[in-house]
């Protein structure tokens, strides 16, 4: 039985910890936005994609509105001289909730991807089980990249990282910016993601849309 004083101390320590985690998450999102924007002006990327407007932020609160449990930033990209955006790159940080609810996953995740629409929690966001069916089909490539196909839209994709694997600017470059750039340029997943400490998934045949996470290597 935990004593009231131990419980109280644990609550205080936990809230301090949550506050520190949220500060790092906000800083990580800002750093990621800046580095991705910088990547988009590199000559080989700029030939194909360029930013259209500003980063859009979205926050998911817990049920009581006390805590932000998920954060996301999305940036519209346009191709060539077209005025209309062709899609959005996004980074979604999920600390709890459906964004991390893949089977056997107990850790916060970062989802990095390219979707037609920006992340707006409550409407469009990465979460488990993944909604599919109808015109949308989701496939898992090499166990690491979700790829959606839709008969009316260009393909969309997303991969995941464990939050605690990203601790430095170099991690942001190696695990977010680099792979995002190469995937945007159409390089194969086997060249881009395999070998990196990204989350490895396996589909559950008994539960369509749900995926099981492999343990860390």
Partner 1 sequence: MLQAFARRKSRLYQRYLGHREPGEHKVSEEDEITALVMGPLEYLPQDAQVLVWRTILEWHQPHPPLPFPSTAVKDTQIHFWPRNTIEPDMVVELEWVCGTRRVILVEFKWNAPLSGQDQLHRQWKEFLSDEQRKHAIHLFIAPETSSAINAISDSDIWGGRLIRRSWPNIISSLLDLRFSPHRGVSVWSVQVIHFLKLLRLDGFQGFNHLQAPPRINQDSTTIFFRRKRE
Contact residues for partner 1, defined by CB under 8 A: 1-2, 5-7, 9-10, 13-14, 16-17, 20-21, 23-24, 26-28, 30-31, 33-34, 36-38, 40-41, 46, 50-51, 53-55, 75, 163-164, 166-169, 171-172
Question: Which of the 8 DSSP states describes residue 197?
Answer: -
H or E segment at 44?
helix 43-46
- Rounded least distance, CB 44 to partner 1, Å: 14
CA distance 150 to 23: 37
Select 14 or 137, whichever has its Cβ closest to partner 1: 14
Select 20 or 190, whichever has its Cβ closest to partner 1: 20
Other beta carbons within 10 angstroms of residue 56's beta carbon come to 15
Task: For residue 37, give the nearest of 46, 24, 48, 26 by alpha carbon.
Answer: 46
Select 142 or 171, whichever has its Cβ closest to partner 1: 171
CA distance 32 to 62: 24
CA distance 115 to 129: 17
- Rounded least distance, CB 203 to partner 1, Å: 29
Select 8 or 208, whichever has its Cβ closest to partner 1: 8
For residue 161, list its beta bridge partners.
Answer: 110, 198
CB-count burial class (<10 Å; 0-12, 13-18, 19+) for 206: exposed
- Rounded least distance, CB 152 to partner 1, Å: 28
Select 176 or 193, whichever has its Cβ closest to partner 1: 176
- Rounded least distance, CB 201 to partner 1, Å: 22
- Rounded least distance, CB 33 to partner 1, Å: 5
- Rounded least distance, CB 53 to partner 1, Å: 7
Select 64 or 170, whichever has its Cβ closest to partner 1: 170
CA distance 49 to 36: 12
């Amino acid at each position: 039985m935990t004593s009231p004083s131990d419980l109280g101390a644990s609550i205080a320590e936990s809230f301090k910890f949550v506050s520190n985690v949220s500060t790092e998450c906000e800083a990580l999102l800002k750093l990621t936005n800046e580095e991705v924007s910088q990547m988009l002006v590199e000559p080989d990327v700029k030939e194909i994609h360029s930013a259209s407007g500003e980063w859009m932020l979205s926050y998911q609160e817990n049920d009581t509105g006390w805590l932000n449990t998920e954060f996301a930033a999305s940036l519209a990209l346009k191709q060539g001289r077209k005025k209309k955006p062709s899609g959005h790159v996004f980074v979604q940080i999920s600390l709890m909730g459906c964004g991390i609810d893949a089977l056997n996953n107990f850790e916060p995740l970062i989802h990095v991807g390219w979707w037609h629409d920006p992340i707006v929690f409550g409407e469009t966001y990465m979460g488990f089980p993944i909604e599919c069916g109808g015109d949308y089909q989701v496939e898992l490539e090499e166990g690491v990249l979700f790829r959606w196909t839709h008969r009316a839209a260009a393909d969309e994709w997303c991969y995941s990282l464990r939050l605690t694997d990203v601790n430095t600017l170099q991690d942001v470059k190696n695990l977010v910016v680099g792979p995002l750039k190469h995937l945007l340029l159409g390089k194969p997943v086997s060249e881009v993601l395999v070998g990196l400490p990204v989350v490895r998934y396996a589909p559950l045949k008994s539960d369509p849309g749900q995926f099981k996470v492999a343990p860390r290597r």
